[in-house]
Amino acid sequence: MLVAIMCLDKPNHLDLRMATRPTHLEWLKANMPEGAYVGPLFDDDGETFKGSLYILDFADIAAARAWIANEPYYKADLFESVTMRLSKNILPLA
């Protein structure tokens, strides 16, 4: 099932994001489930990092929770909030 995981960074934690980023990217390469989307979220200026968004396929919500708990940004305590919701891709529309 697809799970959307939206993670918002704590304010004023850009240095932590950038210091953790190489580990984050390497971890993703080694631990990426099938999915639809992985990428950063930006502030309204389109440049300032605000968080991360994942839309990935997991066996269940428990597997998604276990996966994010091992994500380097999560482990570094970068996120102010993490929201997880089940989703379904309806594209392409017939």
Q: pLDDT (tens digit, 9 = 90+) per residue, 14-50?
A: 999 999 999 999 999 999 998 879 999 999 999 999 9
Any domain includes 3: no
Q: How many domains does the chain have?
A: 1
Buried b (16+ CB within 10 A) or exposed e, 25-51: eebeeeeeeeeeeeeeeeeeeeeebbb
CATH of the domain at 66: 3.30.70.1060
Q: Do the domain assignments include residue 78?
A: yes
How far is residue 7 from each of residues 33, 41, 79, measured CA to CA in Å?
Answer: 17, 9, 6
Within a domain: residue 39? Answer: yes
User: Which residues does 61 contact at the CB level (< 8 Å), separation at least 6?
Assistant: 1, 3, 84, 86
Residue 93 within a domain: no
What is the reported pLDDT for 35? 85
Whether the pLDDT of residue 94 is over 80: the answer is no
Q: Is residue 6 part of a domain?
A: no
Tell me the residue range of the domain where 20 lies.
Answer: 13-86
